[in-house]
Amino acid sequence: MVDSTEHEARGTIHAGGEWREAVGGATREILDPADATPFAVVAEGGEKDADLAVESARRAFDGGQGAWPRTPVAERAALLRRVAGLLARDREELGLLESRDAGKTLEEGRVDIDCVADAFRYFADLVAAEAPGRVVDAGSPDVHSVVVHEPVGVCAMITPWNYPLLQASWKIAPALAAGNTFVIKPSEITPLTTVALIGLLVEAGLPAGVANIVTGPGHTVGARLAEHPDVDLVSFTGGLASGTKVARAAAGGVKKVALELGGKNPNVVFADACATDEGFDTAVDQALNAAFIHSGQVCSAGARLIVEESVRDRFVAELARRAERIRLGRGTEAGVECGPLVSEQQRAKVEAYVASALAEGAVLRCGGRRPDPSPQRPATGYFYEPTVLDRCHREMRVVREEVFGPVLTVETFRTEDEAVALANDTEYGLAGAVWTADAGRARRVAGRLRHGTVWINDFHPYLPQAEWGGFGRSGVGRELGPAGLAEYRETKHVYQNLAPAPVRWFAG
């Protein structure tokens, strides 16, 4: 486990193959969100640390024949598979670390580690199975024309606090598979498992300088990475406001940019999905999962329940009854179903959204407050009850803006067209779901929803082989799938004239 003693001994900044402290000597305590007590110390890097890490990544990319970009694809894929094996070996340790750092349940932490390993395996298999290039018919036997893919170069990666290791893996695995070097800045709130992953990459045999990490705040380290002239690509996952700043900073250098900026995701439930007791139970259960997994701190959370008016009263009553029974507590405790929010700042933000919703006319069905303290829920922890807000409408801030907490809003519709209009009435477009027993309706509605992922009679599953990303202000580019690998590549056309001869365009 990466504990405070180890951090203080070696630092959490890794550049040029060495662990070290921050140039300025600053450190930051990492707090357990279940009780607000510090349990680790990390280096607090700054702009100079970012510069040193980029310099290291640049050297590793631009080196000679043995540099990582020129390492045979089979060797790169083998290394990714070794990393997957190390993740499986350390599953319990890493899952516990993710649980303590981010506040999620231990089981969620374990599942995250499994998904991280899956991502490394997927990109290893994908790159290993590819053809070396696409031959282009030039219309002449004397021309050999081929389109090849090459690594972008030095990649800057900025990751969020809610799924620290998972989001890091969605960037690191394809970047390495494509032959890039990188500098990653994890969230300053939840950096520990990303630090541990860099250690596993080193253990797996990744050459020095290929993988670099700088722990520190976004306004210094993140901003410097985004604008750095030696960075070729910036991949950012986080909030809309921060993402637009990253895009502006990167624009000056005309860098490649990939942005995953969250969503305000609709979960549309038609009455026919609830026509049987089993269907009703499933739709309610999935609405709870959609909204309250990881205390709603999920970019694809189904925070907007859009339910057909004829079943709204029954559906919301049962939803609220079950939400009240969700067991809150420290994520590492047995029987806990939902952990704390990640920070006091995040809880205050959620509280402000709920207060504004009630002032605008929403009806509180359950939650809306901090729970009573208990041995599993220390008073100092950042806990907030799962909250259901009924009678909501599109003019409310809580409906339009990303809350990123355990808050579910309820809207109603009468017709299919109205349901689609409500679901698409958002500046975001990351994910959404439709629940119906009518297969034709399911296909129609899924086809009309302007969201990057659409689930039919399900919510939340994703596949590493299927692209992830959104429309509108949910971002630019895609992660996972073949397109996720393509983000970390440049396309080059190589045209070879096998029988060169004078053109005689100019008389001479």
The dihedral formed by the CA atoms of 169, 170, 174 and 176, expressed in degrees to the nearest 10: -30
| Residue 40 CB-half CA count within 13 A | 28
What tokens does 242 get? 């921060």
Two tokens at 239? 């909030």
Residue written as token pair 């990319």:
61
CA distance 508 to 253: 42
Residues of 16-43 as b/e, b for ≥16 C-beta within 10 angstroms?
eeebbbbbeeebbebbbbbeeeeebbbb
260 a catalytic residue: yes
The answer to whether the beta carbons of residues 161 and 190 sit under 8 Å apart is yes
Among 21, 47, 227, 260, the active-site one is: 260
Give the chain's length.
Answer: 508
Of the candidates 332, 333, 324, 334, the one whose C-alpha atom is nearest the C-alpha of residue 292 is: 324
Query: What b/e string do you get for 359-376 counting C-beta neighbours within 10 Å, with b at 16 or more?
Result: eeebebbbbbebbeeeeb
Q: By C-alpha distance, which of 25, 21, 13, 26 is closest to 53?
A: 13
492 and 148 in contact (C-beta within 8 Å)? yes
User: Phi-psi category of 367—alpha, beta or left, where left has phi over 0 and alpha has psi -120 to 50?
Assistant: left
Q: Could you tell me if 323 and 288 are in contact, meaning their C-beta atoms sit under 8 angstroms apart?
A: yes
Closest CA to 167 of 187, 196, 188: 187
Pairwise CA distance, residues 63 & 89, whole Å: 33
Catalytic residues: 260
